[in-house]
Amino acid sequence: MDVATTVNYLFSVYSSGAVDERQVRNALFDVCYDVLRASCPDLTEDQVRDKANMLVEQFIRAFRLEGARRRIFSSVRPGSGLRL
């Protein structure tokens, strides 16, 4: 699994509005869970779930911030008539 490509794809579909946040959260959880299980085999099931949920929250927060940043900067493009 190419994790970076998967996360980038999930950001793209999230920011386009093609899927709702719940679906993106579920997909991110699956990715994070699989990566943590493979990279940290000594963690218990509950620890993996907790860490995966924490990572999902961080990704969603980053997705929201990046989406807001793109919307703001797209409104201040040269020639748009808006200034900061």
Encode burial over 50-70: b for 16+ CB neighbours within 10 A, e otherwise: ebbeebbeebbeebeeeeeee
Residue 81 pLDDT > 70: no
SS3 string, 14-55, reads: HHHCCCCHHHHHHHHHHHHHHHHHHHCCCCCHHHHHHHHHHH
Cα Rg of the chain (Å, integer): 16
**From CA 51, how far away is CA 55, in angstroms rounded?**
6
- Cα 75 to its chain centre, rounded Å, is 23
Predicted local confidence at residue 1, as pLDDT = 63
- 34-66 confidence digits (pLDDT tens): 999 999 999 999 999 999 999 999 999 999 998
pTM as predicted: 0.81
